[in-house]
Chains A and B, each alone.
Chain A
Amino acid sequence: MDNVSVATQPHTHEEHHHVSLPQHRHHFETEEQQREAGTFGMWLFLLTEIMFFGGLFFAYLLYRNWYHDAFVAASNQLSIPLGAANTAVLISSGFFMALGVWAAEVRKKGLLVLFLVITTVLGFIFLGVKYVEYHEKWEKHHIPGAHFDISEFVNPQAYGLKEQPLAPDMAAKTQIFFSLYFAMTGMHALHMIIGIGLLVWLTWRSYRGEFSAGYVAPIEYFGLYWHFVDIVWIFLFPLLYLINRHPGQ
Chain B
Amino acid sequence: MSQYHDPANVTNPEHAEHHIISPATYIAVFVTLLIFTGITVGAAYIDLGILNPIVALAIACFKAVIVILFFMHVKYQSRLVKLTVAAGFFTFLILITMTLTDYMSRAWGLW
Contact = CB atoms under 8 A, between A and B. Distances in A.
Nearest to A81: B41
20 contacts: A17-B3, A18-B4, A29-B4, A32-B16, A35-B18, A46-B88, A51-B91, A58-B95, A84-B38, A88-B37, A95-B27, A98-B26, A98-B29, A223-B71, A227-B67, A231-B64, A238-B40, A238-B44, A238-B57, A245-B45
Interface of B: 1, 3-6, 11-12, 16, 18, 20-23, 26-27, 29-30, 33-34, 37-38, 40-41, 43-47, 52-53, 56-57, 59-60, 63-64, 67-68, 70-73, 77-78, 80-81, 84-85, 87-89, 91-92, 95-96, 99-100, 103, 111
A30 B12 contact: yes
Given A43-B81, A58-B96, A32 B18 contact: yes
A39 B6 CA distance: 21
Given A47-B88, A95-B33, 6 more contacts: A54-B95, A58-B96, A98-B70, A227-B67, A242-B40, A242-B43
A17 B46 CA distance: 64
Contacts of A223: 71-72
A73 to B, nearest CB: 16
A58 B99 contact: yes
Interface of A: 15, 17-18, 29-30, 32-33, 35-36, 39-40, 43-44, 46-47, 50-51, 54, 57-58, 61-62, 65, 80, 84, 87-88, 91-92, 94-95, 97-99, 101-102, 105-106, 220, 223-224, 227-228, 230-231, 234-235, 237-239, 241-243, 245-248
A243 B56 contact: yes
Given A36-B78, A50-B88, A245-B52, A227 B72 contact: yes
Contact of B100 (A15, A61, A84, A105): A61
A247 to B, nearest CB: 5
> Per DSSP, are chain B's interface residues mostly helix, strand or loop, or mixed?
helix
- What are the 6 A-B residue pairs with the smallest beta carbon separation, nearest first? A47-B88, A248-B47, A238-B56, A242-B44, A243-B53, A95-B30
B88 to A, nearest CB: 4
A40 B81 contact: yes
> Per DSSP, are chain A's interface residues mostly helix, strand or loop, or mixed?
helix
A102 B18 CA distance: 12
Nearest to B92: A54
B67 A231 contact: yes
A189 B91 CA distance: 25
B81 A230 contact: no
Contacts of B18: 32, 35
A95 B26 contact: yes
A91 B52 contact: no
Contacts of A102: 20-23, 26
Contacts of A241: 44
Contact of A18 (B3, B22, B44, B53): B3
Contact of A91 (B11, B16, B33): B33
Interface centre among B20, B41, B100 (most CB of A within 10 A): B41
Nearest to A243: B53
